[in-house]
Amino acid sequence: MRNNFDLHKLIQSLSKAEKRAFKMYASLHSKKDSNNYIVLFDTIEKQTVYDEGKLKRKLRKYTFVKTLAKTKFLLHEFILKTLDHLHHNKSIESKLFNLLDQSKILKSKTLYSQSYVLLDKADQTANRFELYFFLQQIIREKKSLVPYLPKKKISLRELREESRYINGLLDIESKYELFYDEVLAQYEALKKGIVPLDELKEIYSELLESSFLRKKGNAISFLSKVYFHEIHALCAKVILDIPKATKHLRQLEELWDNNFEKTSVYREEFLRSIVNIVTYYLEANIEFDFKGILEKIKSLTTNVAQDVEKNLFFASAINFIYSVTNQQLEYSNIQLMTMRQSIDDHAEKLKPELMVAFYYHIAIYHFLRTEYEEALKWINKIDGTPYEQCHCIQTRNYCKLMSLIAKYELKQHFILESEVRSTYRRLRKEQYGQIEKIVIATVKKLIKVADRKSATEIFEKTHSQLQYLQDEKDTQELGTNAIYQWVYANING
């Protein structure tokens, strides 16, 4: 039996275009039924949270309320038919199903040549998009036409050879998918603390010894190539082999760019790849084409409202990160205002690594605007994220440094001395670099002076040290830049 909330969820998921289409199709049916459907539809649509009791009270003057359960069931079915009619023929798969059905109808009417023409058309489309499941069915239908068509037009031997080749490609794709599922499952086990890192490295090392994963040439089809690069990138990420992970993700990005029309068919795989690429680039502080990625995400189309919302949030998050990275703070402010209400809702839907990167850039945005209490709020969110879900040591280190600075600016000196010591101890266990040494030493000195002149002298010395670091590097990390600006503002403030 269908859950009472199913109809409410379905109605709330509809787009404006889908709602318009429903009412238009409802009006084409018998007046009585269409009125019942539209009245019930409109009443349920107005409910933010479904309430059966309130619904019955609102509808008490309508006779169909006596058979409300039946009317709700019929309305649910009618909406599904509307959606099917509206979206019919839009996808490549729908077009192929139609061509197969039409060819069968023509065959049943003994119009064999016409049936074959449609199968040939379906064959070309399925080959173009590498939809091997459909190709199997097309070949099966072509075989059934062999007795009725000239031998010059169709060859049973060639169809058998093609069938074996397609079966081989499907088998290869299946193997790569199984490898990817295994690699991903083990990675999830690591994040949950079930599998230790050293053990996972051994598991990955054994998996990569497979002939399918040793040579790129074994991945023949488009989808198997996608899996190949995703497997190698994830394995390299775990063992912190940044050059190898970056190489495979760049090749994965290029693969999708060169086969962009396939995103309409392999939509979920494309979105997964984009999320993996962006997440890793942000974690590893690797430069990439923000605007290009945004355009790719916006190009995705779907009929599921929640998916659209998730994709738009993902695109908005990337856009926000891009504007913060380029210090377009006013533009960042507008973006953050529109996203603020939905951040917590999407925290569970997107990858933890991506959400950590997003939180980090929100913290830096508030830090650059000297909104230190807000910055601390987002830094604490990152601190609350289990280490297994965020391996980026650099991000965590900058958060610790910004936390010290924010507490200094908020005059929380009573806890700073012990916090400086604990931060120093924690960072020494990890990647303790020059920027960490400079900031910790600066804050340690600042909490011991009370006059402005002494503080300015400390900031000037820190400025010189940071300037030296800046000159040594070709690129500037966003966290370092934010700290540099804080120092500079205190000298000139």
Residue at 227 is within a domain: no
pLDDT value, residue 15:
80
Round to whole Å and give the CA distance between 33 and 471. 75
Contacts of 142 (CB under 8 A, 6+ apart): 116, 119, 123, 154, 159
Residue at 226 is within a domain: no
Q: How many domains does the chain have?
A: 4
pTM of the model: 0.66
- Residue 288: phi and psi, rounded to 5, are -155, 170
Residue at 58 is within a domain: yes
Last residue of a domain, one of 335, 367, 391: 391
Q: State whether 403 and 339 are in the same domain.
A: no
pLDDT value, residue 312:
62
Q: State whether 343 and 406 are in the same domain.
A: no
pLDDT value, residue 111:
93
Q: State whether 468 and 489 are in the same domain.
A: yes
Q: State whether 57 and 35 are in the same domain.
A: yes
Q: State whether 303 and 385 are in the same domain.
A: yes
Q: State whether 56 and 98 are in the same domain.
A: no
Q: State whether 407 and 358 are in the same domain.
A: no
pLDDT tens digits, 172-185 = 999 999 999 999 99
Q: State whether 77 and 96 are in the same domain.
A: no
Residue at 209 is within a domain: no
Residue at 240 is within a domain: no
Q: State whether 355 and 265 are in the same domain.
A: yes
Residue at 96 is within a domain: yes
Q: State whether 359 and 403 are in the same domain.
A: no
Residue at 284 is within a domain: yes
Residue at 473 is within a domain: yes
Q: State whether 321 and 360 are in the same domain.
A: yes
Residues of the chain with pLDDT under 70: 1-5, 28-34, 85-90, 285, 298-312, 338, 340-342, 345-350, 386-393, 427-432, 470-476, 493
Last residue of a domain, one of 72, 87, 102: 87
Which structural domain range is residue 442 located in? 395-493
pLDDT value, residue 1:
42
pLDDT value, residue 171:
94
User: How far apart, in Å, are the Cα atoms of 80 and each of 73, 240, 265?
Assistant: 11, 48, 22
Q: State whether 272 and 361 are in the same domain.
A: yes
Last residue of a domain, one of 34, 62, 87: 87
